[in-house]
Amino acid sequence: MIKLTIDGKEIELEEQVTVLEAARRAGIKIPTLCYFEGLKPFGGCRLCLVEVEKLPRLQTACTLMAADGMVVKTETEKIKAARRAILEFLLINHPLDCPVCDKAGECELQDLVARYGPDAGRFTEGKRHHPESFDDPIIVRNMERCVLCTRCIRMCEDLQGAYAITVTGRGSHSFVEPFSGGRYNCEYCGNCLTVCPVGAIMSRLHRHSYRPWFVEKEVETVCGYCGVGCSMVMQMREGKIIRTIPRMGLGLNNGLLCVRGRFGYDYLQSEQRLRSPLIRRDGELHEVSWSEALDYVASRLKEIKEKHGPQAIGAIGSGRCTNEDNYMLQRLMRFTIGTNNIDSSARLYYAPALLMLEGILGQGITANLIPGIKNADGVVVLGGDPTQINPILGLQIRAASRDGAKVITLGRAKGLERFAHIMLPGAPSNVDVVLGMIIQELREGVELKGENKWLQEQLSKVKVTEPIEGIPLDETIGALREMKNAVLVLGPEVLQSDNSDRTLLLVAALVYLLDARVFLLSERPNYQGAMDMGVLPDMLPGGRPLEMFKQKAEEALGREVPADRGLNLFEMIDAASEGRLKALYVMGENPVFNMPDKDRITEALKKLEFLVVQDIFLTETALMADVVLPARAWSERTGTYTNLERRIQFIRSGTDSADGMEDWRILEEISARLGEEKRFAILDEVWEEVVHVSPLHSGLGYDDIKDGKAIWPYKGEPLRGVEETYEIQGLDNIRPIKSGQVLQLDRPLYHSGSISRHSKALRSIEDEAFIVISTKKAEGLGLADGDIVKLITDRGSLQARIKIDSTVDEDNIYISNTFTEANFGSLSGYEAGRLGSLSLDKNPVKLEKV
């Protein structure tokens, strides 16, 4: 126990903290400038000076540790004079251009000067001049305003881990600069903008259109880009977002955002947003009224159901839509139309991976808290770069590494290069060999307690018949054995191979042996929710297998539930091309663009008698539709998302949309027109039914969700046990497959599927697709970063610039699926893998120098 006195107040402390923190706890505010909560103290600005009895000079409160018996004064004449002098010094060089500075009103320097500052400076020398830099598309740099507090640099290095900026030069010629001196070329998280106390670095997106007092409304919501589910505040004026910012203490991201969440909101105001329902007549899409469109959809669905039966109709749900939307879509399909033909693009990887992991290890196995990653003493990463796919989760791994955790990566993980201790090669199709080698060693000497008999049996069968050379196996095993509190982060890549079931079994075995917490990376904000709501052909809401739960669901709802397992995403495409599926209802998904093999998907959809697309843009899929229904976008509606930790969070409406309708409401209207008697007037009624039907969510009200209490396990009970078994082939004969050069899907940091291409801000950072290749491949072809190459597959070719990634496997060539002009989907083929996920093994590709 430490006792000290600050400004006459006695303070008792349980733990060692700084004088600044002790004062804060006692409600005494000491002025600061270079200090920022969460960053390492720097002690550079000296504004936090305090007088401490028995210490000769004034002390900086942000670096001085509170000690027993200390007597501290925070506001004496001596201190005030010192602060005034410091501020006067800062103002020697700081321009007094507050009227044109976007920071005015929330500038810490302005506030400090107003409180302590001199009325007039005594220095008459000219201020230093340094032109404002507009070299960067996103960040304006005005170094005349910089007070060299280094908050931005500490943010970029210590929390973001990007090391993109530095102080260059010396003395009054010191400036904060990115390496290039111009463009930042960094991770563009914008977190440095949050911490800058003055207007030295500012976002260009709201230049001269933002002032703190312009904000008419603030709404707390959750980012709509990826499965992390970061909290943010939308600041609005006249129904439009001026900016989105994180807040300290708010949400799992606690003050941090990534580039997509921070700058990617401008797609909402795109000119290309859908404004009106459209119906195809004589081959063209025509604007019609809502009632006409809804009536038409209902009548066509009814007609097709009567003629071909309910099994001729299918639906694709969305990882970008809310739980309520997805629930209503599956409700329409299952209970109103009478088919289980419903799935989403979670099929490509997330759903099969999750279901198998849960099948082996138990439901909720991936429900772990992201902020807890940093407390791990070891992190194993495989299947893609978390710092790109789920950036804020990636930061947690960086933080763990900084705190001494051993980080081991398999395969692509460029963003962890500075943080990983062991980087093992791991081509998506051969990662099972590396995993097998690890398991063979790791199981030795481990006493298997028989908690999971089936898994243990499988585990003991593992045999690598042809190991991969050059793997530091001893070192890896040594590091793994030392992990007492391990985390395993699994990404999409290793599941996109023919062997994905075997790979996943090996992953499960590793999780079991390490007793690790698993995290499954998720590219969409609500894949987990879509699945939990029953957007799966063989599962009902609550993650309940159809055959086991059919009767219970019928009792709960008083409705019949179709008995047969429905078609999954791939099967629906096949059924459409074979003419068995006649109608497809697509909500918030763009399969023509987002799935591989664009030609195959297009051909299949062409065969449909009726295609409905509900979206915010006229997507490639919508262009083929018979009816297009404009939905509301993320910021225009409320509802819940379930993130990859299975935290259920609220998204809230802030901006206006006169044109679109919420997805769930469109579905509700159509159901009613199909004879559904139960009506849902407000969103809460939808959730009430979810809670009633899904045992997982029972007892979980909106109030709990709003209070942030909706963290797994919810009040309901997880039902599914562990004891599922799988037929895994070739566990005793694991060896590398030589599949030659294959095309893989890149998942870049700055983009996210077909939404981000409508964001001018994100496009200003990266406006082209890059072909990502390994260092070795680049050397072999004599290529340097940025050179143009031709990429050829049996489906066509394209030219693009290359990006070299030292963590990429030599035989894998990556391209993203973001840009209309050059994308993965139109050049790749696919097969459904054994696990029911996407397999890209037979995707041969060639590269040619141009």
Partner 1 sequence: MDEIKEILKKYPDRRGALLPTLYVAQKAYGWLSQEALEEAAKALNLPPATVKGVATFYAMYKHKPMGRHLIQLCTNVACMIMGAERLVDLLKERYGLEPGGTTEDGRFSLVIMECIGACDRAPAMLVDTDFHADLNENNIFEILEKYE
Q: What is the binding site for ligand SF4 (CB under 6 A)?
A: 146-152, 155-156, 160, 162, 164-165, 176, 184, 186-192, 195-198, 200-201, 223, 225-226, 228-230, 253, 257-258, 260-261, 390-392
Of 721, 835, 834, whose CA–CA distance to 365 is shortest? 721
Tell me the two tokens of residue 412: 């692509």
Examine residue 148 and tell whether it contacts partner 1 (CB under 8 A). no
169 makes contact, choosing from ligand SF4, ligand FES, partner 1, none, with CB < 5 to 8 Å by partner type, with partner 1
Regarding 177 and contact with partner 1 (CB under 8 A), the answer is yes
Q: How far is CA 844 from CA 216, 426, 752, 847, in A?
A: 54, 18, 25, 10
Interface residue with partner 1 among 167, 215, 250, 722 (CB under 8 A) is 167
Q: Which is nearer to ligand FES, 60 or 326 (CB)?
A: 60
Of 46-54, 83-91, 174-182, 505-513, the window that binds partner 1 (rule: CB under 8 A) is 174-182
Q: Cα 367–38–153 angle (5° rounding)?
A: 115
Phi-psi region of 237 (alpha: psi -120 to 50; beta: other; left: phi over 0): beta
Residues binding partner 1: number (CB under 8 A): 13
180 binds partner 1 (CB under 8 A): yes
Is 44 a binding residue for ligand FES by CB under 6 A? The answer is yes
DSSP assignment of 669-701: HHHHHTT------SHHHHHHHHHHH-GGGTT--
Q: Give the one residue of 5, 63, 76, 168 binding partner 1; rule: CB under 8 A.
A: 168
- CA–CA gap between residue 570 and residue 609 (Å, rounded): 18
Is residue 128 part of the contact set for ligand FES (CB under 6 A)? no
d(CA 697, CA 813): 42
SS3 766: coil
Interaction between residue 90 and ligand FES (CB under 6 A): no
Closest to ligand SF4 by CB, 223 vs 504, is 223
**Any contact of residue 648 with ligand FES (CB under 6 A)?**
no
Residue 179 interacts with partner 1 (CB under 8 A): yes or no: yes
Smallest distance from ligand SF4 to CB 91, Å: 13
Span of 177-185, 572-580, 632-640, 790-798 interacting with partner 1 by CB under 8 A: 177-185
- Contacts (Cβ under 8 Å, ≥6 apart) of 677: none
Find out whether 756 and 789 touch, Cβ atoms under 8 Å. no
Provide the H-helix boundaries in 515-561. 527-532, 546-557
Q: What does 170 bind: ligand FES, ligand SF4, partner 1, none (CB cut-off 5 to 8 Å by kind)?
A: partner 1
Closer by beta carbon to ligand SF4, 490 or else 605: 490
**207 makes contact with partner 1 (CB under 8 A):** no
Q: Which one of ligand SF4, ligand FES, partner 1, none interacts with residue 501, CB within 5 to 8 A by kind?
A: none
Contact 221, 198 (CB under 8 A): no
What is the closest distance, in whole angstroms, from the C-beta atom of residue 25 to ligand FES in the complex? 17
Residue with tokens 């495989």: 382
The CB-of-144 to ligand SF4 minimum distance in angstroms stands at 10
Sheet holding 378-382, edge to edge: 422-424, 406-410, 378-382, 486-490, 517-520
Distances (CA, A) of 709 to 613, 703, 713, 717: 35, 9, 10, 16
Residue 188 zone, left/alpha/beta (φ > 0; ψ -120 to 50; rest): left
Contact between 395 and partner 1 per CB under 8 A: no
> Interface residues for partner 1 in 665-704 (CB under 8 A)?
none
Contact letters for partner 1, residues 400-439 (x by CB under 8 A): ------------------x---------------------
Beta-carbon neighbour count of residue 675 at 10 Å? 9
Q: What angle do CA 765, 394, 361 make, to 5 degrees?
A: 135
- Which of ligand SF4, partner 1, ligand FES, none lies near 179, with the C-beta cut-off 5 to 8 A by kind? partner 1
Q: Residue 177 binds which one of partner 1, ligand FES, ligand SF4, none, with CB within 5 to 8 A depending on kind?
A: partner 1
The contact mask relative to ligand FES for 353-392 (x = CB under 6 A, - = no) is ----------------------------------------
d(CA 605, CA 584): 8
SS3 2: strand
Least spacing, CB of residue 750 vs ligand SF4, in Å: 10
Which helix (H) or strand (E) segment holds residue 315: the answer is strand 313-316
Q: Which of partner 1, ligand SF4, ligand FES, none lies near 460, with the C-beta cut-off 5 to 8 A by kind?
A: none
* 438 CB burial (10 A radius; 0-12, 13-18, 19+): buried
- Contacts for 114-121: CB closer than 8 Å, 24+ residues apart: 115/31, 116/31, 116/80, 116/83, 116/84, 116/87, 117/84, 117/87, 117/88, 117/91, 118/84, 118/87, 118/88, 118/91, 121/88, 121/91, 121/92
Please say which residue, 35 or 617, places its beta carbon nearer to ligand FES.
35
Q: How far is the CB of 755 from ligand FES (least distance, A)?
A: 41
Residue, CB closest to ligand SF4: 261
Q: Shortest distance, CB of residue 161 to ligand SF4, whole angstroms?
A: 9
CA gap 386, 540 in Å, rounded = 30
Strand residue runs (E) in 356-496: 378-382, 406-410, 422-424, 486-490
Binding segment for ligand FES (CB under 6 A), chosen from 42-50, 159-167, 274-282, 839-847, is: 42-50
Tokens of 648: 């259920």
Among ligand FES, partner 1, ligand SF4, none, residue 201 binds (CB under 5-8 Å by kind): ligand SF4
Residue from 32, 323, 452, 774 in contact with ligand FES (CB under 6 A): 32
Interacting residues with ligand FES (CB under 6 A): 32-35, 43-48, 60, 62
Residues near partner 1 (CB under 8 A) are 163-170, 177-180, 418
